[in-house]
Amino acid sequence: MTKKIGISLKDELYEWASREVEEGRAESVSALIAEGLAVLEARSRLEALVADLRAEAGEPDEQAKVRLEEALRSADKAYRRHLAARAADAA
């Protein structure tokens, strides 16, 4: 189920979003905004999980911090590849 709402965007942000649609990197401005909110929600849930883990287990050691940074970089690269593949499919 989806909910239709109205939002206001700064002109330059709307222009960028429109170019993303025109160039095939997004299905629509609405879809782009929805995807951005989904990313923010996932990040918020991850931050809450990390806070819970820290509360239970304490601060991670340096080795764990390095491994976490590597995992986050890998996740970011995978997400960027996904976006690139989706844009290629749309073209």
* Short-list 57, 58, 77, 81, CA closest to 69: 77
In a domain, 2, yes or no: no
In a domain, 5, yes or no: no
Taking the C-alpha atoms of residue 78 and residue 60, their distance in angstroms, rounded to an integer, is 25
Residue 33 has pLDDT above 90, yes or no: yes
| Residue 21 CB partners (closer than 8 Å, separation 6+) | 27, 28, 29, 32
Segment 3-23 mean pLDDT: 95
In a domain, 34, yes or no: yes
In a domain, 6, yes or no: no
Taking the C-alpha atoms of residue 78 and residue 61, their distance in angstroms, rounded to an integer, is 26
Segment 11-20 mean pLDDT: 96
| Domain hosting residue 56, numbered range | 11-90
How many structural domains are present in the chain? 1
Q: What percent of the chain has pLDDT over 70?
A: 98
Residue 90: predicted pLDDT: 67
Segment 20-32 mean pLDDT: 92
